Structure 1
Amino acid sequence: MLVSGLIQLVAIAALLFVPAGSFHYWQAWVLLAVFAVSVWLPSVFIQLTKPDALQRRMRGGPTAEGRPVQKIVMAGLYLSLAAICVVGGLDHRFGWSTVPSTISVAGAVLFGLGLIVVVAVVVQNSYASTTVQVETGQQVVSTGLYGLVRHPMYTGNVLMLVGLPLAVGSYWALLFVVPGVLVLASRIHDEEKMLSAELDGYAEYTQRVRSRLVPYMW
């Protein structure tokens, strides 16, 4: 768990500092600190209380997906996140846009909030996974965050996508939020087809909770 978190942190740092061409990039340092605190501390708690849930979270990425469409979707999401970091670093180097410090801090807070929402989903739903699948014994969770939207983990992902460009101090990086949200919407569409067909009670759940991603909107 700790090694995986360290690898993620180093990868994000490389995507930011290499394009920036400098370590004098306070927005990047703040983002890395927020990532470390928001991921590592809750992960330790989950490892101690729900190790199976954490293991499901660690099996992620395009290669871990069993459905071909989800491999494409996850590749698109990872590329969007990487592009935001790279463009943010380039923006810092060449000064393409000027983001006020307060906006960058707010973006970092929004990014951290998105990570916390994802962790909260894992705590609430032990079957929450980074891959689209239905496991033996899995049941529909309809309370807590799942009472607001059907895919609260992806809601957390959207908060991260929106907060990340602002956190790294780049308005230009906001352009990559759109494809990121679109691939998440595609993932939800495919996932719901599978859940309705394979998970008992899910079709009835969709009738009770109408919003997929954003309450009262979609």
Structure 2
Amino acid sequence: MTESIETDAGTARVTWHRAAQPRRVLALGHGAGGGIEARDLQALARALPAHGVSVALVEQPWRVAGKKVAPAPKTLDAGWRGLWPALERPGPPVIAGGRSAGARVACRTAAELGAAAVLALAFPLHPPGRPEKSRADELLGAGVPTLVVQGGKDPFGRPEEFPAGSFEIVEVPYGDHGFAVPKRADITQEQALESITDAVVKFAASLG
């Protein structure tokens, strides 16, 4: 089911993949360079409902409007805040999540919105080649249980670059920023995606 939601940043869209008896809702925002068709978002939408987690794939207003460039962070946050009541409406606690820029939005707003936890997929710790431009404060300030799933070769921040903090980090071996793995890797693309879904299922279950 897909629904349109009016926010202060424009019309957002949520595509639901519902569990039969949901214990959690996982809301997933997309990155600045793509939409909800991203391989990791689609893999989670397919896998998690069987584990009692409804998945809401969130399209930010700029994407719904057909624009090519993401707006400023405060506008992304406004869009996310505006659709949050629709994510809470089904009843179960909501895990705020997203990939790349969407992960940053989830981290920045989790505490104020009352998210049960945060899932940060491919968190952009810094721009490629610019480790001094760290965004670690957003991650460290989430204020709720947080899982980071990061590609081992992500140019926006490899797992070993992350600071110590009160979050869990799971590495996807060989994965780039989109969790693509090269054909020469000793894991397949399917196995890489399974490692993501397995980690998220375990994380969701750990929340009680």
| TM-score with structure 1 setting the length | 0.29
Could you say which structure has the higher helix fraction?
1
TM-score, normalising length: structure 2: 0.30
Which of structures 1 and 2 has the bigger CA Rg?
A: 1
